[in-house]
Amino acid sequence: MKVEFDEDTCIGMFQCVAEWDAFEKDESRGKAILADSEEVEDGVFVREVPADAELDAKFAARSCPVDAITIYDDDGEQLIP
């Protein structure tokens, strides 16, 4: 499973931070940060989701009010949103 985070879309509600500890607050910029991720294009960050964190990652994606977090399965199919 993979998570993609669009930092430019993020509005800093930090609901994802409460759901999954891979997201951290960057209060100086008013944005969340996806820890241990790789920037694949400008403002878009991707990382693998550990098997034991899949549920938390899904909750984080569902909690985002602006759909800045996308979850993909191992086949690359979009699951959330």
- Give the pLDDT score at 31: 97
Mean pLDDT score, 46-69: 98
Q: What percent of the chain has pLDDT over 90?
A: 100
The whole-angstrom distance between residue 73's C-alpha and the CA centroid of its chain comes to 14
Q: Residue 55: phi, psi to the nearest 5?
A: -65, -45
For residue 37, give both structure tokens: 């991720």
Give the pTM: 0.96
Cβ–Cβ under 8 Å, residues 4 and 69 = yes
Domain ranges of the chain: 2-80
Evaluated on CA atoms 55, 57, 60, 61, the torsion sign reads negative
Length of the chain in residues, anyone?
81
Specify the amino acid at residue 6.
Answer: D
Cβ–Cβ under 8 Å, residues 78 and 72 = yes
Name the CATH architecture for the domain at 2-80: 2-Layer Sandwich (3.30)
